[in-house]
Each structure stands twice: as structure tokens, then as C-alpha cells.
């Protein structure tokens, strides 16, 4: 049970991100209550607009988790398609794809993300595209390596000797065999996506300030901290660190648990 703590923490984080804004209801700016410290009325204090910071952080966490999930799914799908195609076709196509993967890995992800997000500043789709295009190579490399290993298994070769076509073998045996690894890679991508979204929004090229996310809250907190409102930085920063660590631990747990069965059809 002790090893399941990442899943329990993630459950609490998701429940808080969904439940707290619902319980708090629609918030209205109250500048008379701006920058109040944590207390009985506002457990985490208020921000510079008088919003309850706990509810505002939960809204930002929900937005960051949603964007991170979409980014992870998009990057995993793209990486899986490219990895499967490279392994199945082989030859010069495989060599070209792997050089393309090496080229993408050599690019600084944050810089590329800033350039793409800055072209459509404030658009959530730009953030999704910037993160997905910089994180698919890791998934493609894992999927390709797993496919090459599974392709040499006896049950795959038996199917080929029986007259099955390459695409039948891929659809019936190979792709299901690497789905588990792809899911693990997707979970491992989630903390990276959360960090990248928060960083882009913090730098001002991500979401617009009127949309709450962990990055926009941290960006707004820079000026508030100078006024002594330390809680405006501490609360969203704690949520960001806890979320990233919980996802990273859950990814490590999933990777340790995943043991592809050798000689067995998934």
C-alpha cells in the first residue's frame, strides 16, 4: 500500500482541482479584500483582485492539468505513429526517422516552445502544439525499440511463416504489445507538460493573464511578493511542485510495474 501513495496523491490533486472551484462558486473581484493574508475567511488568502487564492489556485491547477493531459496524449499518439511506421517499414525510412528524432532531441525544448507559443500568444492550442512537437521523439524512440524487440519473438515469426501480412502482424501482435510502453511514456510526459505550460505562461507567451493557470498565477505573484504578499507565490508554487512530483512518482511506479509478457499476445 505504501507504494500506491503517488496514485492517492494524484487522486487528491484532481479532486481538489475539480471540487474546490465548484464549492467556491463563481468569484467576483473585490479589491477591498485584495492581498489579505491566510485566515479563517480565506484559508490561503486573497490575490491582488480579491479572489480567494485557494479557489483561484484550484482553477489554475485544473487548467494546467487539462492542457498537460491533452499535450501528453497528442505527443504520445504522434510518437507512437512515427515509431511504429519506422520500425515496420525499416530500411532507409527507419534511418531517416531516427535522424529526425535525434535532430528534435538536440533542439532546446523550452526555446522551441517559446517560439511556437509566441506566434499565437494566449492560444491554448499553441501551447499544446509547442509541447507535443517537442516531446514526441522520446515516445517514438521507446516504441520503435520495443517493436524491434517484440518482432523477434517466436510467436510473431510463427504468424509471419503462416502467411500473415506485415500489416496484419502489426495490427494483431506488434501494436498491442507496445501499447503498455506508450501509456507509461504518456504518464511520464505529464509532469513535463505541466512544467512547460507553467513556464510558458509565467514568461508571458502562454495563456493570457485573465485565464487562471499555475503559470499565470505565478507570473502575477511576482509583483505581489514585493508588496509582502508571500502567499500569492507560495500557494500556486506548492500546487505546481506537488503535482509535478506526484506525476513523476506515478510514472516511475507505472514503469516499474510494466513488464511486457514475452511470448504472449496482449
pLDDT 10s digits, 43-58: 998 998 889 999 999 9
Residue 237's pLDDT is what?
93
**Cα Rg of the chain (Å, integer):** 22
State the chain's mean pLDDT as an integer: 83
Is the confidence at residue 65, as pLDDT, over 90? yes
Model pTM? Answer: 0.84
Q: Report yes or no: 54 and 43 within 8 Å, Cβ to Cβ.
A: yes
Torsion sign over Cα 231, 235, 241, 245: positive
pLDDT 10s digits, 221-251: 988 888 889 999 999 999 999 998 888 888 7
Residue 265's pLDDT is what?
39
Residue 70's pLDDT is what?
93
CATH code of 4-26+43-258, in short, is 1.10.3720.10
Residue 52 DSSP SS3: strand
* 8-26 average pLDDT score: 86
Choice between 149 and 97, residue whose per-residue pLDDT is larger: 97
3-state secondary structure 107-135: CCHHHHHHHHHHHCCECHHHHHHHHHHHH
Closest residue by Cα to residue 215 from 190, 245, 195: 195
* 113-123 average pLDDT score: 86
Structure confidence at residue 69 as a pLDDT band (50, 70, 90): very high
Is the confidence at residue 155, as pLDDT, over 70? no
Count of CA atoms in the C-beta half-sphere (13 A) of 111:
5
Alpha-carbon span 235 to 211, nearest angstrom: 17
Residues facing residue 46 across a β-bridge: 52
Residue 262's pLDDT is what?
42
Task: Label residues 237-250 b or e (16+ Cβ within 10 Å = b).
Answer: bebbeebbebbbbb
Domain positions in the chain are 4-26+43-258
Structure confidence at residue 261 as a pLDDT band (50, 70, 90): very low
- Candidate from 115-119, 129-133, 161-165, 201-205 with smallest mean pLDDT: 161-165
Is the confidence at residue 151, as pLDDT, over 50? yes
Question: How far is residue 65 CA from its own chain's centroid?
Answer: 7
pLDDT 10s digits, 159-217: 666 666 667 777 776 777 788 888 888 888 888 889 888 999 998 888 888 888 999 99
Task: Label residues 18-47 b or e (16+ Cβ within 10 Å = b).
Answer: eebbeeeeebeeeeebbbbeeeeebebbbb
Residue 94's pLDDT is what?
87
Residue 264's pLDDT is what?
42
Closest residue by Cα to residue 30 from 43, 38, 42, 20: 42
Q: Environment class of residue 112 by beta-carbon count within 10 Å: exposed (0-12), middle (13-18) or buried (19+)? A: middle
Alpha-carbon span 17 to 246, nearest angstrom: 14
Task: Label residues 203-219 b or e (16+ Cβ within 10 Å = b).
Answer: ebbbbeeeebbbbbbbb
Amino acid at each position: 500500500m505504501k507504494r500506491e501513495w503517488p496514485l492517492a496523491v494524484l487522486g487528491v490533486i484532481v479532486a481538489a482541482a475539480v471540487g474546490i472551484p465548484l464549492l467556491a462558486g463563481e468569484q467576483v473581484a473585490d479589491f477591498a479584500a485584495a492581498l489579505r493574508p491566510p485566515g479563517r475567511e480565506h484559508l490561503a488568502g486573497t490575490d491582488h483582485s480579491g479572489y480567494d487564492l485557494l479557489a483561484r489556485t484550484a482553477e489554475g491547477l485544473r487548467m494546467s492539468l487539462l492542457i498537460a493531459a491533452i499535450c501528453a496524449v497528442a505527443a504520445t499518439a504522434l510518437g507512437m505513429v512515427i515509431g511504429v511506421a519506422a520500425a515496420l517499414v525499416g530500411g532507409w525510412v527507419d534511418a531517416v526517422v531516427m535522424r529526425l528524432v535525434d535532430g528534435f532531441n538536440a533542439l532546446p525544448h523550452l526555446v522551441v516552445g517559446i517560439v511556437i507559443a509566441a506566434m499565437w500568444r494566449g492560444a491554448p492550442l499553441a501551447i499544446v502544439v509547442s509541447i507535443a512537437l517537442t516531446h514526441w521523439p522520446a515516445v517514438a524512440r521507446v516504441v520503435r525499440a520495443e517493436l524491434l524487440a517484440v518482432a523477434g519473438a517466436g510467436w510473431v515469426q510463427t504468424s509471419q511463416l503462416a502467411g500473415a501480412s506485415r500489416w496484419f502482424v502489426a495490427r494483431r501482435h506488434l501494436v498491442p504489445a507496445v501499447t503498455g510502453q506508450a501509456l507509461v511514456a504518456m504518464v511520464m510526459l505529464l509532469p513535463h507538460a505541466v512544467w512547460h505550460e507553467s513556464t510558458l505562461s509565467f514568461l508571458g507567451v502562454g495563456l493570457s493573464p485573465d485565464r487562471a493557470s499555475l503559470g499565470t498565477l505565478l507570473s502575477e505573484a511576482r509583483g505581489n511578493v514585493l508588496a509582502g504578499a508571500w502567499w500569492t507565490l507560495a500557494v500556486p508554487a506548492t500546487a505546481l511542485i506537488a503535482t509535478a512530483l506526484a506525476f513523476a512518482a506515478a510514472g516511475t511506479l507505472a514503469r516499474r510495474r510494466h513488464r511486457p509478457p514475452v511470448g504472449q499476445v496482449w
